Structures are given as structure tokens and as C-alpha cells.
Amino acid sequence: MTLKRIYLIALVLAALTGCSDNDFIGDLEALNGATGVKAIAFESNATKITRATSNTGTVAQMLDGQFLVYGTKNVSSTYSTVFPNYVAWNNSGLNATTSNPDGSDASNGWEYVGSSTTTYGSESTTLEKDQTIKYWDYSAANYHFVAGSPVASFTYNITSNDIASATVTGLAGHITANPVSGEGAVLTANPVYIAKPVTVLPANYNSAVTFEFVRQQARVRVGVYETIPGYKITKIQFYPYDVSDWNGTSSNNIILASTTADYFVGATNATATVTYTWTGEEEGVTYPYHTVAYTSDLSLTKAKNWYAGELNASGWVMATTSAESTVATFFGTDKDMAATGYFAVLPTPAEKEASPLLIKCDYTLKPVNNTTEGSTETITIHGATAAIPAAFSKWAPNTSYTYLFKISDNTNGKTNPGKENVGLYPITFDAVAITENS
């Protein structure tokens, strides 16, 4: 139940630091235990993440007021289906529902009993079939439950009457430049949530089944600012990593590069497989499941380079502090970028080994007061580079990453790429008085 934000500051050509913080949403309590026959009820908790594309606020708002449930029960070592793709919807903030008539907590306002001829909830949820109330069966050794949102994105696959996997559609994430001035459409990267699979044992048959939903996209933003005394950047170009060297065409877009093939993945509407592994039956165990097993299709893009915003603000005015509030001068511009500078991205494929993310750029400096002081010089720095450590380079679901690069006079770039001397060296003067012997 955490919102993970990772902030990294890389000195273009100097040190890089990072920190993380957590935020929590939800305060769920199990229903009081009871005896006798009781309906199966659901409650939900979603990992909070600040808005990158759409859906933020309460759990119900983040899930668009609905999720899809599949559930089985184990009687005599044979699993049978109890919830065959049932839709659960939020009951407009009402605690009590048909399946949970004594609801006592706002998080319990999830209903699944309804008719296919009626619409339900604030999102006008419609059902493909009638859905009936279900009761706990104490002859069952355990129940298995899985869930996902939005409903249309999930198809559950059953093996031997148990839940083996799910096919997930509608996954989208930014990877290539989409200039504001270009003809491309804005990427639609709506959130997709997958609930951690749940096993329920007899001791908890009278409690609501709690789903913890995790958003499957990550968010990434990359900012650049400069702090060179007396100078301003009038041009900056970033390089992609192509094949085995920096030999691609430079770009005004900030580029994060990897030396690993297909390290970044992007899509407009990708398909993935979630595999559920039910190992052991201990209560409270979080069972492993893989959410980034992408299905190969034409909508999936793989590359060594990932493109952030385009730094081409009027007059090349760039941020001069790490606290710059103007997004365009700090993170650049792009159609796929949110107002806060974030891009919705697909997580790094699970099979990829974490490797550093690299950045390389050339930039041109001009004195800040060149008009008043009469200076006409420019200085071009070639091949300034920095790296984000592997520990912070693999993008995980439901995690926000902010990478900040500071361009300072402590640079490893060259003013003459053909020479060995690197960096910026201040011009200094000294004076010696010569006394004439008489």
C-alpha cells in the first residue's frame, strides 16, 4: 500500500544521489467474525499513486468504480468456480449492500449482486449476465480470488478448475518522442490495476475478501538544469546509444540510453500475461505473480533509448535550480507528458537485468550579460556524460521516478573533442611587478 517516489540527482559529470518516500491510502478493518451462513463480500485497497494519466483520489475513483473478480473454492482437493468473471462495483459510497448488508466501513461499499438489465454505481456499470449472491462453504479447505481493473482489460485462464493466469490488454506507455509541434496523437495510457492474489482459509470465511490493487504502469520524468556562473545554455543536444556506441542522431529531447538491447518497452495497446502461482496455503501469504510478461505483437516497441521532454524553450531559457517550478524549462515538452512532467511508462521487463541508464549531450554556453558587457564569445562542451546506477534504473509497477541532471562547471565534457583536456577551466590572471635597477 505504498506510493514509491524515487528522486535522483545526477551531476552531469559528477555525483548522483537518491531517496525515496512512502505514502499510504486506506485503513481497512476486517468485518467482525460471525457464525452461521454468511454471504461472501469484498472490500478493496489500491496503492496510491499521484496522477500521471487519469484516475486519482479514493480507491473507487482510481479503479473507475469497478473491478473484475474470479474466485474458486477447494473441496476435496478439487477446485470449482464460485465467481465466474463477476463484476464488482462501488455502491455510490453506501456501506450496506446486498452481499454486505451490515457494512460498517466505507471501503466495504462494493456490490456484485445484480441483473444484466440494470446499470449500477456512479460509473453506470453494466453486467453481461445476472450475478447472484454467494455464500461461504465451510466444507471448502480454502478459496482463491483474483481481481483486476478495468473490467474490459482482463480475461482469466483456468486450469484444472483453478486460476492459472490472466491475459491483460490495454497496457500503454511512452517510449519515443512525441513533439508538441508534431502530428502524432497524445498517447492514451489509462491505469491498469492488478490485485494481489488472495487465499482465504476457513478461519476468515466470515470476513470480507480484501483486494490490494497495484497499478501496473510506472511514471518517469527527467529534468535538466544548469548552474555555471555567468553563463547560460543557448543550445543542448542529447545522443542515443546505437548498436555499440553513441553514433545515433542527436536530439533536443532528453534521452536515457541503455547498452542492453530492448531494455525499454513502450506500447499504445499492449497485451501481457499474469501468471498466478498458488504455493502453500498459509493465511496472509503474498503469492508471486508476474505482471510484465508482455505478449509479442505489433503494438509493443522495444529499444535501447527512451525519450523524455524536448528542451527547446524560447531563447533556450533553462532551469537554473533543482526547484524550478516551470515544467517546460525543467522537463521539456511532449504530447505524452502530464502537467507535472511525468510520462506513463511500462515497467522494465522482468527478464531484463538491471543496467545503468546513460546520458550524453553537447551544449553551448554564452555569457548571461553578453549584451551589456560586450562579450561575443560562445563555448561548446562536447560529450558531457553521466550515469544513473543500476539500482535505480529498473522501472517497477506503481513507482514514480524523477531523474535530475545538473550541468555545472565540474564537467567531463571537452571544449575541443580532439584533445585530452576535459572540463571547464577558469581563466585567471596574475601580475608580477618588474623593478628597474638604477
Q: Determine the pLDDT at residue 70.
A: 96
Enter the DSSP assignment of 299: T
Domain positions in the chain are: 24-216+273-300
Model pLDDT, residue 398: 85
Separation between Cα atoms, residue 383 and residue 398, nearest integer Å: 34
Q: What is the DSSP string of 192-230?
A: -EEEPPEEE-GGGTTSPEEEEEEE--EEEEEEEEE--TT
Q: What is the model's pLDDT at position 16?
A: 25
* pTM of the predicted protein model: 0.80
User: What span, in angstroms and rounded, lies between the C-alpha atoms of 322 and 390?
Assistant: 23
Per-residue pLDDT of the chain (438 residues; tens, 9 = 90+): 344 554 444 433 322 222 332 222 222 222 223 335 677 787 766 544 433 334 456 777 788 888 999 999 999 999 999 999 999 988 755 545 676 665 544 445 788 988 988 887 767 788 999 999 999 999 999 999 999 999 999 999 998 889 998 988 888 999 999 999 888 899 998 889 998 888 999 999 988 888 888 888 899 999 999 998 888 888 899 999 987 888 888 889 999 999 999 999 999 988 888 888 887 554 444 444 555 566 666 678 889 999 999 997 665 678 888 888 889 989 999 999 999 999 999 988 878 899 999 999 999 988 887 666 667 888 999 989 999 999 999 998 888 899 999 898 888 888 888 777 787 767 767 777 777 765
Distance CA 43, CA 99 (A): 11
* 73/65 Cα distance (integer angstroms): 26
Q: In whole angstroms, what is the distance from residue 422 CA to residue 381 CA?
A: 9
- Strand 154-159 versus strand 253-257 pairing type: unpaired
